[in-house]
A = this chain, B = another copy of it.
Amino acid sequence: MNQEYIIPDPWSIIEEGFDAELVKSSESLFSIGNGAMGQRANFEEDYSGPTFQGSYIGGVYYPDKTRVGWWKNGYPEYFAKVLNAPNWIGIRVSVNGENLDMNQCEVAQFRRELNMKEGYYRRSFVATLQNGTQIEVESTRILHLDHDELGIINYAIKALNRDAEIVFSPYLDAGITNEDSNWDDQFWEILNVSNENDQAFIRSRTMKTHFDVCTYMQSKLYVNGTSSDVSPEMETKEKSIWAHYNVSVREGQTATLQKYAGYVVSLNHEPDALLGAAKNILQKGTSLGYEALQQSQAQAWAKVWEMADIAIEGDVEAQQGIRFNIFQLNQTYSGKDARLNIGPKGFTGEKYGGSTYWDTEAYCIPFYMATKDQQVARNLLKYRYDQLGKAIENAGKLGFTKGAALYPMVTMNGEECHNEWEITFEEIHRNGAIAFAIYNYERYTGDTSYVPEMGLEVLIAIARFWHQRATFSTAKDQYVILGVTGPNEYENNVNNNWYTNYIAKWCIKYAIRMIERVEKDSPNDHERIMNKTQLSLEEMKAWNKVAGAMYFPYSDEHSVYLQQDGFLDKELVTVEDLGKENRPINQKWSWDRILRSPYIKQADTLQGFYFFEDHFTVEELERHFDFYEPFTVHESSLSPCVHSIQAAKLGRMEQAYTFYLRTSRLDLDDYNKEVEEGCHITSMAGTWMSIVEGFGGMRVKNGELHFTPQIPEQWTSYSFKINFRGSIIKVSVDKDQTHFTLESGPTVTLVLNSERITIN
């Protein structure tokens, strides 16, 4: 934890002072994105120090051949890789003949700011070059939310101590590589490097997946705010293209280069039309101009914050943390495009390769449901519906039949694409989260149309999977589920993981309930789906038999469900008694030692208590929390949020607050010493849940909102807004009371601590 690093501020992420050791971490934290593309906060000018270059385009990936020791049947063939895309931000700068490189000159007054309110990233510093010239640099970068193919950079240099001959050389560079590559394959083919006057273009194509991308740029030069009509000298190389702008400034004067650049992609345009599309966006961008674009960007972000902000008074670090989380979630996924999803690192790094994990359904959907139009969450559900065919194929490869679906653990296009058998084959609980998300969506939005239109087919295919995946144990006279990995990835190939068995049973029961409802309410859809799936009553009966006789390991001694059959055989030493020198165990211990230890990476049994809270009494929750949390090492970013919510539910506000801080400032304070690899995007939605569901106690029951607000001792007040079925409700909580405001939409009746309130 490094609490000195990021300066507390309610609306901005700020770093002051240049520390080359922190460059890679800051490149992650100051990342910007607009849902369609994004990038790490790499410097525009040359930098010869350690850096992790990354610029990413939503939906553009490479199927990198997997690395396995000994190939076995059913192993996925590739691990999709988020792709480092051509660099469009680069501006090489020469001042009085010397190349500007922060690693080669004296740097003072260095400052970075990620302004979350208005959506820009700004960096400024004073450099004293080796030739003695002193300059002040200020660079501002925007990825526009509305014009999501466009990026703008405003790069200003002031000559501080003498006249300066400045050469700005904005460039595009397609000669890039991935840090994370299994076989050092080339990922991109360069088709064409060209320019028309001062507009430059690189056409490139991903190997194998054949995404065509046109990276483009055009720049404008200003001296002391006045447009200069200097024409650049264009230079075309094999993999890059450069525009050289020469300008002389007097001491005290400022030269500014505005670079308009970005990507147009064959996901959104015909490949032949990419060049034209790039010219159109350049035409639009340059004619609007930097100032107007900055203003409209601020307005677009204001709209986001109007719905999604959480304000905390009395605790600026908590405030900064939650806004950073909300900001990054909105940078990663806008919900406009049902083909996209929420990668665990968003646009801030390459790790975890493929884009979509169960994180989306288990952690992200509640945030997007409550802070966006319901269409956004529906698009996330539709993403899985669109991939149902591939999920059925995936199950088929593992020997399942008759339309059973196993959704992938990691995917870009619906195919499974993770390296490790203990994850792909065994972490099958992910199927449950996908069904639960449908239930959760309907519970929250009240939109009963999704199930008959799309969801039911998914539910049937998932129920079929669980039915086939369960094994009848003659010894137990019940159904067991053998050889799984639960949410706790620090165990694998276990039998009867309680969470998996529980959600399997629930999935079957829910699918049957939905089939019956659709039959009654939407007979046409029912007929269509029954024809398509060829589902028979006999098959449903067989499902029901499995669900009705599912085995759940239970300890009479402890009065708790057991995480899996063998849990009580472990050496049950709590984390507190473990000794700090062993932590984090994933860095200190060998894998086999972790596997046979009792330590839990993230909520496992408790994840089931979170999803199915209503099925259990508070006493049962407390018992399980007290049994499992002491063995939980929270070494997954997805762990603290669930525990925070449950601690709050149990009235343990101090503990809930500790977990909250850990989740909300995980990256800002770099708890896990790995932020340089990128930020933990999906767990950020868990942070939001910690406040809204944890402290605020928000639940939806029988179509009504319920709240049981509490407030951490450290806070004066907090407030959040939610979109509940078209009503925008602001919930403000202080030490004494809770205040509800209906900001727009129809009157809402809600339940505050069991008291029914109508707000209008």
Contact = CB atoms under 8 A, between A and B. Distances in A.
A72 to B, nearest CB: 4
B419 A592 contact: no
State the copy count for this chain.
Answer: 2
Contacts of A482: 566, 569-570, 596
Contact of A79 (B66, B69, B571, B587): B69
A591 B69 contact: no
Contact of A569 (B73, B480, B493, B587): B480
B569 A471 contact: yes
A232 B532 CA distance: 78
Given A475-B568, A495-B566, A566-B482, A398 B593 contact: yes
10 contacts: A68-B69, A72-B586, A74-B591, A399-B590, A399-B593, A471-B569, A473-B570, A475-B569, A480-B569, A565-B566
Interface in A572-599: 572, 586-593, 595-596
A540 to B, nearest CB: 22
A587 B73 contact: yes
The CB with the most chain B CB atoms within 10 A, among A79, A471, A586, is that of A471
Contacts of A493: 492-494, 595
Interface stretch (A43-51, A254-262, A336-344, A420-428): A420-428
Contacts of A73: 586-591
A75 interface: yes
A397 interface: yes
The CB with the most chain B CB atoms within 10 A, among A426, A471, A483, A557, is that of A483
A69 B420 contact: yes
Interface string A587-621: 11111110110000000000000000000000000
Contacts of A397: 590
Contacts of A472: 571
Given A68-B419, A69-B418, 7 more contacts: A69-B420, A73-B587, A73-B591, A74-B589, A482-B596, A483-B595, A493-B595
Given A69-B66, A69-B67, A590 B74 contact: yes
Contact of A592 (B69, B398, B588, B590): B398
A61 B68 CA distance: 21
- For the residues of A in contact with B, the DSSP-based class is loop
B473 A569 contact: yes
Nearest to A585: B73
A520 interface: no
A160 to B, nearest CB: 48
Nearest to A481: B596
B596 A483 contact: yes
A70 B571 contact: no
Contacts of A587: 73
Given A566-B495, A569-B471, A591 B480 contact: no
A77 to B, nearest CB: 13
The CB with the most chain B CB atoms within 10 A, among A586, A587, A588, A590, is that of A590
A3 B492 CA distance: 44
Contact of A471 (B68, B69, B570): B570
Contacts of A79: 69
A287 interface: no
A397 B591 CA distance: 11
A476 interface: yes
The CB with the most chain B CB atoms within 10 A, among A67, A74, A569, is that of A569
A426 B594 CA distance: 12
A754 interface: no
Contacts of A568: 473-475
Nearest to A73: B590
Nearest to A562: B475
A435 to B, nearest CB: 20
The CB with the most chain B CB atoms within 10 A, among A66, A588, A589, is that of A589
